[in-house]
Amino acid sequence: MTRRALPVLSLVPLTALALAGCATADADAQPADGGATIVASTSVYADLASAVVGDAIEVTAIIDSATQDPHEYEATARDQLAVDQADLVILNGGGYDHFMEDAVAAAGTTHVVTAVEFNHDYPGAEGDDHAHEEEDEHADAEHGEHEHNHIEGFNEHVWYDPHTIVHVVEAIADEAAELVPDAAEDFEANVAELIAQIEGLEASLDEIAAAHEGATVFFTEPIGGYLAAAAGLEDVTTDGFAEAVEEGQDVAPATLLGATEAISGGDVDVVVANTQTGGPETQAVLDAADSAGVPIVEYGETLPDGDDYVTWMQANIDALAAALA
């Protein structure tokens, strides 16, 4: 996929908050006191872990830049060593951060929190023994795209689902308590506070649903789908469009035509675009939205610099509400 900057049309300003406890993973750096360590695939999960464990455990992120796309990231030897030495590893899973899945498999790590496993739509979430039977490996050599493992029909962007994240932070606290038993009560208190904030996000989504349930949304990629669903919106993305863009494949001309006609014809109330990737087909959709006066909301793959998870998600929800108002 080609990186490009997209114009922000409806995203509200974000509050600048320091990402406490998170840093770029440094395979050579170990806690001075020999304490426990947590390594997360992205800044999103590192931030959540830091909110749970505070200063009791050192937390680092492999990807901590808002400009990096986890879909295409290639782990380095230093990244692998960081995972090898970690006491707990946190990743998204579902083929999203494939580099971390590979690193965990190579390390043989046993203490792992995989976010997708707490999502109700995940094939293995309810004990399905066939969790990965539908997993396909897509490699587009013609376009130089990285091979991307993807579970057919599953939206792996689960950090956009507050309900899933509640279970993720609970799992992090359980694992952290095993690493530092003396701090277990502090972890429990931190989780309770964090969950209360996440429930605030869910309340904001309920407010959107009460005011705009049934409104239609078009996604340039599946990102943000869980937020929109929780807000009561109807996904009217033209079949095959978002999937092709996410995989870095060409969108079929008929599919692109159907997408632009749906937007121009008034069938779409809001367009959700990915801030970190794009291409000519995505631009065509955004141009159609501009011409038709359809608001565009931009969502990203990773935590914006200087923000925490809750503040970021609240801003994303507020942007969606503003676009529909």
Q: Domains of the chain (ranges plus CATH)?
A: 37-197 (3.40.50.1980), 207-324 (3.40.50.1980)
Query: For residues 103 and 316, what is the distance between their CA atoms, to the nearest angstrom?
Result: 31
- pLDDT score at 73: 87
Q: Counting Cβ atoms within 10 Å, is residue 281 exposed (0-12), middle (13-18) or buried (19+)?
A: buried
- pLDDT score at 149: 58
Running along the chain, 325 residues long, what does each successive block of 10 average in pLDDT? 38 36 43 77 97 97 83 90 97 94 92 96 59 37 42 88 98 97 98 98 98 96 94 96 87 95 96 86 95 96 91 97 96
Q: pTM surpassing 0.85?
A: no
DSSP 95: T
Which residue, among 120, 286, 295, 312, has the nearest Cα to 215 in the 3D structure? 295
Exposed e or buried b per residue across 292-317, where buried means at least 16 C-beta atoms within 10 angstroms of its C-beta: bebbbbbbbbbbbeebbbbbbbbbbb
DSSP 302: S
- pLDDT score at 278: 74
Hey, how many other C-beta atoms are within 10 angstroms of the C-beta on 102?
15
Q: Which two tokens stand for residue 273?
A: 């675009």
Say how many Å lie between the first and final Cα of the chain, rounded.
32
Hey, how many other C-beta atoms are within 10 angstroms of the C-beta on 29?
14
Which residue, among 127, 207, 201, 109, has the nearest Cα to 163 in the 3D structure? 201
Contacts of 242 (CB under 8 A, 6+ apart): 219, 220, 221, 222
**Segments of 178-225 assigned E as strands:** 216-219
